[in-house]
Chains A and B, each alone.
Chain A
């Protein structure tokens, strides 16, 4: 009975995923949302030092996107949990909600997210983003 239910779920997922056109690689991504991130022109860490780890299914690629359309140019980076070394960063234009690759690393690597707005642009408050790892 349980086995039959599980098979039905797998079949349903396969159909839905096919309809939605989700690429196979997207299934492997682990994502976490960063909520109400407040950025200023000075670099700061998200969420009181919230830490993320690269999953075994991501291929090592860490990407970031804004969920809320950003109204400022922003720069986002991934930094080491342990010594704050910058693993990689990228700039996001106003209105850009696409994923940007930040860096690649080994499974289990721990990182924090840092960000700022562009010089002279002021702050950007309560914007949500998503990290894919």
Chain B
């Protein structure tokens, strides 16, 4: 009986330890998102053949935050063909990640974290200072307001892309994003 009482106490102690440590450091996703707001796009004129783009994308993806269950498996590097500069690959990954965070926010999966990441998105390196950032700023303003036309339009684009990604990833034996 005494042991039964001690076990929950130990679990609670571990839980309390984790909870106490959490505020000391920001979640990694927020750190990565913040870093993208000041990072420069990947440089280099080297061109990467489509057949090698997925491996290059895997390396570049380490700096891009995704919601839980997120992957970049559905991007059609092989089907698109041609070649890519590192900045091209990073731009595709960042927009794909943005879409995943939009769906996460809309679906109520860790909505607060999703909204926090989305607030950074207009300043991410792929489009910072470019025309596309204006549109993303409108979308993020809608997110902040709880919804709106720009967010709805973007989610329709993201949902269509996600449906294609699931199909493509499955056809290649990969795990699609949630």
Contacts and interface: CB of A to CB of B under 8 A. Distances in A.
B146 interface: no
Interface in A66-124: 79-86, 106-110, 112, 114, 116
A84 B135 CA distance: 19
B150 A108 contact: yes
Given A82-B161, A83-B96, A106-B153, A50 B81 contact: no
A36 interface: no
B85 A45 contact: yes
A43 B75 CA distance: 16
Contacts of A85: 76, 79, 161, 164
Nearest to B43: A48
A52 interface: yes
A37 B88 CA distance: 14
A32 interface: yes
Contacts of B82: 42-44, 114, 116
B137 to A, nearest CB: 12
B165 A49 contact: no
B164 A108 contact: no
Given A83-B75, A83-B168, A112-B92, 10 more contacts: A43-B80, A44-B85, A45-B84, A83-B74, A83-B96, A85-B161, A108-B135, A110-B154, A110-B157, A112-B91
Interface of A: 32, 42-45, 48-53, 79-86, 106-110, 112, 114, 116
Interface of B: 41, 47, 74-77, 79-85, 87-92, 95-96, 99, 126-127, 130-132, 135, 139, 150, 153-154, 156-158, 161, 164-165, 168
